[in-house]
Amino acid sequence: MVNKNFLKKFLHYISFDTQSNEESLTCPSTAKQLLLGQELVKELKEMGLDNAFIDEHGYVYAYLEANNKSDEVIGLIAHMDTSDEASGKDVKPQIIDSYDGKPIIVNQELGIILDPKEFNLLNEQIGHTLITTDGTTLLGADDKSGVAIIMTCVEEIIKNNLKHCGLIITFTPDEEIGRGADLFNISYYEKHHCHKAYTIDGDIPSHIECENFNAASCKVVIKGKSIHPGSAYQKMINSQIVAMEFFNTLSPLLRPECTKGYEGFNHLTSFNGTVSETIMHFIIRNHDMAKFNEQKKMFYDLQKKINDKYHKELVKVEIKDSYYNMKEKIDLDKSILKKAELALLSQGLDVKYVPIRGGTDGARLSFMGILCPNLGTGGQNFHGPFEYLDVDLASIMVEVLKELVKNY
């Protein structure tokens, strides 16, 4: 069943171009994100949330007092920006009423076809209302579906006077460039005694995501010795060749293309070299902290091994941690998962816990004092022209949230 209120809001929000930009040093990284933020504040005020505001960094907050005698306050969080991997300007949504199970030709010319043979989930979405792109942009279901689910839920609980615990509604900028938690107003949450929240930013609604990678970035600088090749005999050290030696000594089984589920990886993201200097960048990922530390140690061990072999300090490894697995924090209070599980079950969804093979703002928030697992939005194939939204599933998530806030 399609929630028409949700659908209307979603289509409105994706008409805003809110692409974030990693190169920018400001927050929000792009001024256009503020336009959606201001619109959301206006709508929240129209619903009766007079305290809604957008701060100088482009974060939107609003507080709704409990009416179910509960002392609990929970946060509902979604991000407003879209990925820079594809344009989010002039999105032309294509609405498919009652999907018939056949391949969806999104854009013949560009070869953008959603074939259920390749995108298996479509087989379970027959009869649903789907929204695709026209093949030239992303859709923005990530995460405007999350924004619209929260907005619809809040509007309906106020309008119909439904029971709910205390709520903080938050919309963040710049999640896609990893900065959504940077200027998050923790003291606003503390003021309202709120230490639990949910991001609505996943895909499949029955999936609860409460585990993510431990993550680090690693820079390997290798110095060589540049000599004219004609007179290089037993003198030249080509840093690029040493770099390849370094790379080839790392386990090939720990490359992203060889790993899935709970398997971590070391991913070479760039390799730039000349004879005299080569710089490699890696990202290091593992859900398990001990294995994560072991992977980092491998890099340092390799530095020593190669430097010993050449009797020179050719290799320098620098590793910086980026974020950690939120599971460590969520394990301290699993009620946050139990409540979500019950709300999902109440809407007939089978719950599955799925490890995120990446990070989320919720992971960082969990280490900043707000436990924050991630729930689904009904969207699929984020960040590109194959993105689509299952409106029926998103509509179910509106009901799930209503149930969730009632039970706290």
- Residue 329 has φ and ψ, to the nearest 5°, of -80, -40
Residue 203 interacting with Zn ion (CB under 5 A)? no
Q: Which of 17, 81, 209, 403 is catalytic?
A: 81
Query: Which of 89-97, 193-201, 246-254, 393-401 is the region at the interface with Zn ion (rule: CB under 5 A)?
Result: 193-201
Contacts with Zn ion in 61-120 (CB under 5 A)?
Answer: none
Q: Which is nearer to Zn ion, 143 or 392 (CB)?
A: 143
CA-to-CA distance for 15 and 5, rounded, in angstroms?
A: 16
Instruction: Decide: helix, strand or coil at residue 244.
Output: helix
In 117-208, which ranges are continuous DSSP H helix?
141-159, 186-191
Q: Which is nearer to Zn ion, 77 or 343 (CB)?
A: 77
Residue 143 interacting with Zn ion (CB under 5 A)? yes
CA-to-CA distance for 189 and 196, rounded, in angstroms?
A: 9
Q: How far is the CB of 150 from Zn ion (least distance, A)?
A: 13
Q: Which is nearer to Zn ion, 83 or 238 (CB)?
A: 83
Q: How far is the CB of 22 from Zn ion (least distance, A)?
A: 15
Q: What's the full length of the chain, in residues?
A: 408
Query: What six digits make up the tokens of 183?
Result: 């200027």
Q: How far is the CB of 369 from Zn ion (least distance, A)?
A: 22
Q: Is the dihedral of CA 328, 333, 338, 341 positive or negative?
A: negative
Query: Which of 200-208, 260-268, 285-293, 321-329 is the region at the interface with Zn ion (rule: CB under 5 A)?
Result: 200-208
Give the CA radius of gyration of the chain: 24
Q: Which is nearer to Zn ion, 9 or 144 (CB)?
A: 144
Q: Which is nearer to Zn ion, 84 or 143 (CB)?
A: 143
CA-to-CA distance for 135 and 109, rounded, in angstroms?
A: 9
Size of the site for Zn ion (CB under 5 A): 3
Residue 142 interacting with Zn ion (CB under 5 A)? yes
Residue 201 interacting with Zn ion (CB under 5 A)? yes
Query: Which of 138-146, 177-185, 208-216, 227-235 is the region at the interface with Zn ion (rule: CB under 5 A)?
Result: 138-146
Residue 387 interacting with Zn ion (CB under 5 A)? no
Q: Which is nearer to Zn ion, 79 or 296 (CB)?
A: 79
Q: Do residues 211 and 355 make contact, with C-beta atoms less than 8 angstroms apart?
A: yes
Q: Which of 142, 175, 387, 403 is catalytic?
A: 175
CA-to-CA distance for 298 and 97, rounded, in angstroms?
A: 53
Q: How far is the CB of 337 from Zn ion (least distance, A)?
A: 20
Establish whether 81 is a catalytic residue.
Answer: yes
Residue 209 interacting with Zn ion (CB under 5 A)? no
Q: Give the DSSP H or E segment for 172.
A: strand 166-172
Q: Do residues 317 and 305 make contact, with C-beta atoms less than 8 angstroms apart?
A: no
Q: Do residues 242 and 279 make contact, with C-beta atoms less than 8 angstroms apart?
A: no
Query: Which of 182-190, 195-203, 259-267, 345-353 is the region at the interface with Zn ion (rule: CB under 5 A)?
Result: 195-203
Instruction: Decide: helix, strand or coil at residue 71.
Output: coil
Q: How far is the CB of 79 from Zn ion (least distance, A)?
A: 6
In 351-390, which ranges are continuous DSSP H helix?
361-367
Residue 174 interacting with Zn ion (CB under 5 A)? no
Q: Residue 143: is the preceding peptide bond cis (ω within 30°)?
A: yes
* C-alpha of 115 from chain center: 25
Q: How far is the CB of 380 from Zn ion (least distance, A)?
A: 12
Task: Cite the active site residues.
Answer: 81, 175
Binding region for Zn ion (CB under 5 A): 142-143, 201
